[in-house]
A and B are shown apart, each in its own frame.
Chain A
Amino acid sequence: MEVARERSAGRVILEARGITKRFGTVVANDHIDLAVRAGELHAVLGENGAGKTTLMRILFGELQPDEGEIYLDGQRVRFRSPRDALRHGIGMVHQERKLIPAHTALENIILGHPKTGAILNLRQAEREVSALCERYGFRVPLHAKVWQLSEGEKQIVEILKELYHGARILILDEPTSVLSPPEIVKLLQSLTRMAKEDLAVIPFITHKLPVVLEHCDRVTILRRGRVVAEMETRHATEQTLAAAMVGREVGLQPERVQVPLGDPIVRVQDLWVRDDRGILAVQGLSFEIRGGEIFGIAGVAGNGQEPLAEALAGLRPVERGTITLDRTDITHAPVLERWRRGLGYIPTERREVGSIPTFSLVDNILLNYHFERQFSRWGILASSQARELTERILREYSVVAAGPNAPARSLSGGNLQKVILGRVLSRKPRFLIACLPTHGLDVGAAEFVQRKILEAKQSGTAVLLISEDLDEILALSDRIAAIYEGQFTGIVTASEASKELVGELMAGLRRERV
């Protein structure tokens, strides 16, 4: 107890007292207290919808609290806008990148800084930014264009930008979500260094509890808009954190089901694919997936998963290699033929590729059915049939929607994903490509989607699961391939796979037989 007192004796830099924010009848933040002390890395944990985003936006001046006060170094402050917050030294690193891809890292960092003179003195700026890098242990090529950087490097550029612009309090929204496990460790080490130097660093985190335990000194846990716990991580375990976040004991991952494997359905041989920039993003991948098997591809975003999925679905030309589905070569087959042969594709972008937001649910369902005889006779759509099918999918997948004619954009992410999943799975595909199927969904919806994918597997579908969530990959897949810079760094079976092993493979730190 003595020790604890001493450690928490650091000066309070940022304090929020009784922050309350209501949206209509929903209380997003209910009297939240948060005190961040000097020298401590203090994380805020919570599930989707726990009120993290609202709190962050209030601290950053994007929203005004209905009640409550914010204190900086003991002084009461009010932020009317993000610019106001910036002036008080609050910097925010968003989850979606606020960088200009066509500019260099350095140009992005100095952009808009009042100190930047009329004529750019890039050498001077580089010296200053390099000094920051040195101090906190960041490594990033400052003269590379941002589009050439990895997601992790982009995040570092944003952190550097905030520091360069004089942020003393740094709020990070899900800083770990785009990183490989070793990158996470490095980032958190840098953040710890910053915290030791009198900067207040507040990461807001949903997943990756073990890293939080290891690197953060203190956590505040939110659930349904309230602070349910504030503790030092020394006194916490992964279970206590998870239980506090969810509000019940958790055994979240669904159980893997073993089904006898069928014949190979999909066979990919030495596949090479270019991305939009003309770079070979997929380099010589070979694998096969058998009926009833889930083949998981684990990797940090941007390592070739997306071009691979698009090439398999027929949306991107193949540079070299072959794809066979049920012994038929479909390498250059048009999309429609692939669907007819039993391919099902759940794209990453639900609202751009997976659905047409302004169309009704019926019309969206028809996107995968319009070419079938019973839905289109002589080019005239069979609307009653389509409506029936839609109603069935809405029922079976327990979709919350105003009805079959509701526009797709009126659905929440989870419900829209259920519709897309239902549309694809109702075709009983032989080969299912699922890209980030639970990305951004809350726990309930994610669990549902995972269960449905497992059901498809049980019915003999060959499933390609692409995910950035290592836990999900480990829980569902029969075999796991780690992808790094367009190549597999290893393919392991579920029984040999561990988080550490796959994590290192994903980061390209080691290679296994492929």
Chain B
Amino acid sequence: MSNLLIISLAAAAVFGIAALGELLEQRAGILNVGLEGVMLLSGTFGFIAAKTSGSYLQGFAIAILTGALVGLLHGFFSITLGSNQVVNGMAIWILGFGLTTYIGYPYTGPLGLKPFPTVAGLPTFFLVTLALAVAIWFLLFKTHLGLKLRSVGENPSVAEASGISVTGLRYLAAILAGILVGLGGAVYSLVYNPVWNYNYLQGWGFIALALVFFSLWNPFLAVAGAVFFGILWQLSLYPELLFPNIFSRYIWRAMPFVITIVVFIVLSTRWFRLRWGATKPEALGLAYQRES
């Protein structure tokens, strides 16, 4: 039982950190559907750095740097060039998938460092996730910068008229998001499952993206959702930990997908849609062109 919970929280840290990053930029109106690609790139480069140097610190630093650069790239396309953000995001995913397969191939295999330390038996990065959730909530709702970020995501022309630089703030959001998503990717490849393989992430980036939408852009709900999916994922892998000899493995394997369908049914209710529509950043995914 406690084993299951601990390993679930380790998985939740990956979902949670990436989702928090994406949540931050979506609040500012930037949509990056290519989370998977960002995490693949940062996770792979972080893995290579850590493996060759033997240092976790270097691995995380490279991963964060990679995330920030990809965030900047996404920002350049969607803010400066004003192109379609969904298309950009897909491009980033495809780029990440292809590039990491090519570059990472020689490094296939385990990381070979001693396991990342835990804190009081809990996964370190789960605690980091909780701290980040509080920090992002505080940033968004209790600081002037947060108010500006949210304004830019709701109505950029109003923000501009209030003397706020929409471009500057959106770049800031895209880069901060890149850093967090990059960290999330490294948590997967260095801590949660430190074995590199082609397409090792198996769609976790997309789950993190979905979590942002389900969370109604609330950092705490995003983390709660991350824990929920973390448990589901582990349960499908090791059902015997919690329910020995109930159902076959194959039914458990299908469980995350079955529950996803249930979640979608809940989400399609009028009750949820109204709340969703009310909290969704009004200008999410829309380029802003300053009137001249």
Name A residues whose Cβ lies closer than 8 Å to a Cβ of B: 82-83, 86, 98-103, 107, 110-112, 116-120, 276-278
Contact = CB atoms under 8 A, between A and B. Distances in A.
B114 interface: no
A100 B155 contact: yes
Contacts of B147: 103, 107, 110-111, 116, 120
B143 A112 contact: no
A98 B159 CA distance: 9
A-B pairs, 4 with minimum CB distance: A112-B162, A278-B274, A112-B163, A100-B154
Nearest to A278: B274
Interface in B130-175: 142-148, 150-151, 154-155, 157-159, 161-164
A120 B151 CA distance: 14
A101 B279 CA distance: 10
A107 B140 CA distance: 12
A112 B159 contact: yes
A118 B143 contact: yes
Contact of B279 (A99, A102, A110, A118): A102
B151 A118 contact: no
A100 B162 CA distance: 11
Interface string B261-292: 00000000010001001110110000000000
A369 to B, nearest CB: 34
Contacts of B142: 119-120
A112 B147 CA distance: 9
A118 B144 CA distance: 5
Contact of A116 (B144, B161, B281): B144
A103 B270 CA distance: 23
B148 A111 contact: yes
Given A82-B161, A111-B147, 16 more contacts: A98-B157, A98-B158, A99-B158, A100-B151, A100-B159, A102-B279, A102-B282, A110-B147, A112-B148, A116-B147, A118-B144, A118-B145, A119-B142, A119-B143, A277-B277, A278-B274
B161 A98 contact: yes
Nearest to B275: A278
B26 to A, nearest CB: 13
12 contacts: A100-B158, A100-B282, A102-B278, A111-B164, A112-B164, A118-B143, A119-B143, A120-B142, A120-B144, A277-B277, A278-B270, A278-B274
Contacts of B145: 118
B177 to A, nearest CB: 20
A495 to B, nearest CB: 44
A331 to B, nearest CB: 19
Contacts of A116: 144, 147
Contacts of B279: 102
Nearest to A114: B163
A277 B278 contact: yes
Contacts of B154: 100-103
Contact of A101 (B148, B270, B274, B282): B282
Contacts of B144: 116-120
Chain B CB count within 10 A is highest, among A86, A117, A119, A276, for: A119
Contacts of B162: 111-112
Nearest to A145: B278
Nearest to B274: A278
B282 A277 contact: no
A351 B282 CA distance: 21
B197 to A, nearest CB: 43
A119 B145 CA distance: 8
B292 to A, nearest CB: 11
A109 B79 CA distance: 27
Nearest to B154: A100
A102 B270 CA distance: 19
Nearest to B163: A112
Contacts of A276: 277
Contact of B143 (A82, A102, A120, A278): A120
B277 to A, nearest CB: 7
A111 B162 CA distance: 7
B157 to A, nearest CB: 8
Given A119-B142, A120-B144, A103 B161 contact: no
Contacts of A118: 143-145
A119 B144 CA distance: 6
A171 B147 CA distance: 26
Nearest to B291: A62
A64 B148 CA distance: 29
Contacts of A82: 161
A86 B163 contact: yes
Contacts of A278: 270, 274
A496 to B, nearest CB: 41
Contact of A103 (B143, B151, B157, B274): B151
A158 to B, nearest CB: 10
- Among the interface residues B144, B161, B163, B270, which one has the most CB atoms of the partner chain A within 10 A? B144
Contacts of B278: 102, 277
A67 B136 CA distance: 51
Contact of B159 (A83, A110, A111, A117): A111
Contacts of B146: 120
A111 B169 CA distance: 14
A53 B142 CA distance: 38
A98 B156 CA distance: 10
Nearest to B278: A277
A119 B138 CA distance: 9
B217 to A, nearest CB: 10
Contacts of B158: 98-100
A102 B158 CA distance: 12
A103 B278 CA distance: 11
A163 to B, nearest CB: 14
Contacts of B148: 111-112
B159 to A, nearest CB: 7
A99 B282 CA distance: 12
Interface string B203-217: 000000000000000
Contacts of B150: 100, 102-103
